[in-house]
Structure 1
């Protein structure tokens, strides 16, 4: 038996104000998208903003449904829209923010597993990392240099 050790490195910023200007603007667009989320059941709103390689920004927010599995997360709304409307464009960065109507969330909230898998598909396909910035409603912002940093041992089309 051989052990395989996996590590990752994340950058932590104390607030949005520490981010570079374009990433601050991206996070602000994610906040605007978050505030438009349709989350009547969980009352947990999520906003995502993608920066494409042509500097265009695509946003998404979570869309819930009474049949819970039928809803969709903000990250996948944004990435699928980008794929549909901007085919062939690479994603440079993703900004993600959340807000709960039931409690104050200041801890950075990363993408869920399903969203990580969907984002990994794009990262593998474009052969370039997607920087991911995530936060709660306020407070610290965490940066992962790539989806792979959040989802090591990714399952991709090479296995099919």
Structure 2
């Protein structure tokens, strides 16, 4: 038997410490929460992805009474970007959330399906995507989704 420890690195920023382009992406993700359709959970999630040419695409969660067809904000933004700009890699994604009381204090993390979708885009373009998870003032920054999905399933897993 072998015991293995898996660790992930993250950098914790306060909003004001972020680079201007990252603050802008966080602001757009927060604004995108206003486009959420979440009549069941009342949990509004917004995402903003930046493409390699600087274009920013928004996404917001869209709930459905049949919960399995609900679309998360992250995948909404990613699939929009891939459908309209398939020749451009995604370089960053910022994710923000609010409930009926306002923006959540602590950063929220993508669900497993969204993590897998982000990983697929990293694999497709052969480059990492910077992840910004937004709380009210604290932002968790990861250099790649691999930090949140260390034992991942990718194309090579099927070979």
Asked whether the equivalents of residues 28 and 58 of structure 2 are also in contact (C-alpha less than 8 Å), the reply is yes
Asked whether the equivalents of residues 43 and 102 of structure 1 are also in contact (C-alpha less than 8 Å), the reply is no
CA offsets, 1:13-35, max 9 Å, x none?
A: 12x22110001111111111111
Q: Tell me the equivalent position of 1:69.
A: 68
Q: Tell me the equivalent position of 1:144.
A: 142
Is 1:54 the counterpart of 2:45 in the alignment? no
Q: Matches of 2:80 and 2:102 in 1, distance apart?
A: 30
Aligned CA distance change for structure 1 residues 73 and 145 (closer, same or farther; 3 Å): same
Stretches of structure 2 that go unaligned for 5 or more consecutive residues are none
Task: Report the TM-score when normalising by structure 1.
Answer: 0.94
Q: Which runs of 4+ in 1 moved over 6 A?
A: none
Is 1:82 the counterpart of 2:81 in the alignment? yes
CA offsets, 1:64-119, max 9 Å, x none?
A: 01111111000000111111110021111001100001576201111111100110
Secondary structure of 1:89's aligned partner:
coil
How far the C-alpha of 1:3 sits from its partner, in A, is: 2.4
Across the aligned residues of Structure 1 and Structure 2, the Cα RMSD in angstroms comes to 1.3
Q: Matches of 1:18 and 1:41 in 2, distance apart?
A: 35
Is 1:95 the counterpart of 2:94 in the alignment? yes
Give the aligned length. 158
Is 1:158 the counterpart of 2:146 in the alignment? no
Q: Matches of 2:85 and 2:79 in 1, distance apart?
A: 10
Task: Report the TM-score when normalising by structure 2.
Answer: 0.95
